Structure 1
């Protein structure tokens, strides 16, 4: 298989958006890196020092109640721990959807990512957030890129950058989030929504 065969015929031919907190990184069809094949990554931080994000569509078999029981009642169904990425898998990262009318800018435990989407300080007591959160997920670990690394991967065609919706973070367990995000993009991307993670499965 030619390296980056997908890049020059798809993502590189499309208008690009810049990565920023609250944006999604949508893995290219045929992504060669197995850790990121068919993944949807929510960007939490992006600056001159690098980029941090969490993979939204990698659910583990671990119940959130078994590792962080205090957050289980606020978590979206299925109440599982999600695998945010290969870096620092022992660390927990909270991402949530706020209720309407919540003043995110003045909230002591929320960092705004996008409309109603927040990065949650898990050092807070859950009861302090119960009135402000519609739902949330907890991710084990994160995906990280050094300065300039993600920009190079985007130029190469590995990732498509698109705005996140609150529903992306709390998508049902059986949802094909990668396919759903692909289907809501401009043509021709919806045509690739059923592209398999492994070409041998096609």
Structure 2
């Protein structure tokens, strides 16, 4: 399978669990050794300032911590968008590593005033989502995830609760119908 880094994993209605139910995951890395990414639509409800006070005023709305996944919940990862930057020409500002297109990770140990002028969107995640070798491919094959292309605003949406349905709704053909799948199919 080709690398899926930079693409979205959208949970199918049958994907369960508190974190992955109706989740949208941005894959940051994917190769034969495994994959990792961030759940984009699960705000925790705690302000970023509770763990990273210097960054609170710089994060995109809603200015909350997001649960990036079930792995490494004691770690924080910053995701940013750098307009005009490109991972291909290595044009990232100091403290930012571009992963694909204009999206990258930020070193949260760097003082905000060093990197904030170059950033158009920022989100902070507690933990991340990870898969071992072959695990993600198996989950995709068993219809646990839809793999779709992202749009620029997906990672920094102001309304994360509607991201799952919104991403599905814009897909071509029958996949768009999944956006209307009821929370509880027994109430259909």
Asked if structure 1 preserves the Cα contact closer than 8 Å seen for 2:85 and 2:91, the reply is no
Residue correspondence of structure 1 range 57-136 to structure 2 within 5 A:
57-99=41-83, 101-102=84-85, 104=87, 105-107=90-92, 108-136=94-122
Partner of 2:177: 191
Q: Deviations over 1:11-60 (max 9, x none)?
A: xxxxxx85522111011122244431110001111122211111000001
Stretches of 4+ moved more than 6 A in 1? none
TM-score, structure 2 normalization: 0.89
Q: Deviations over 1:57-104 (max 9, x none)?
A: 0001101112111111220011100011111111001111112x2355
For 1:67 and 1:184, locate their aligned partners in 2 and report how far apart those are by CA, in whole Å: 35
For 1:52 and 1:201, locate their aligned partners in 2 and report how far apart those are by CA, in whole Å: 34
**Superposed CA RMSD:** 1.9
Which 5+ residue runs of structure 2 have no aligned equivalent?
A: none
TM-score, structure 1 normalization: 0.83
Partner of 1:4: none
For 1:31 and 1:41, locate their aligned partners in 2 and report how far apart those are by CA, in whole Å: 13
Deviation of 1:120 (Å): 1.8
Which 5+ residue runs of structure 1 have no aligned equivalent?
A: 1-16
Cα separation, partners in 2 of 1:40 and 1:159, compared to 1, 3 Å = same
Partner of 2:22: 38
For 1:155 and 1:184, locate their aligned partners in 2 and report how far apart those are by CA, in whole Å: 22
Deviation of 1:197 (Å): 3.8
For 1:87 and 1:70, locate their aligned partners in 2 and report how far apart those are by CA, in whole Å: 24
Q: Which moved more, 1:50-59 or 1:161-170?
A: 161-170
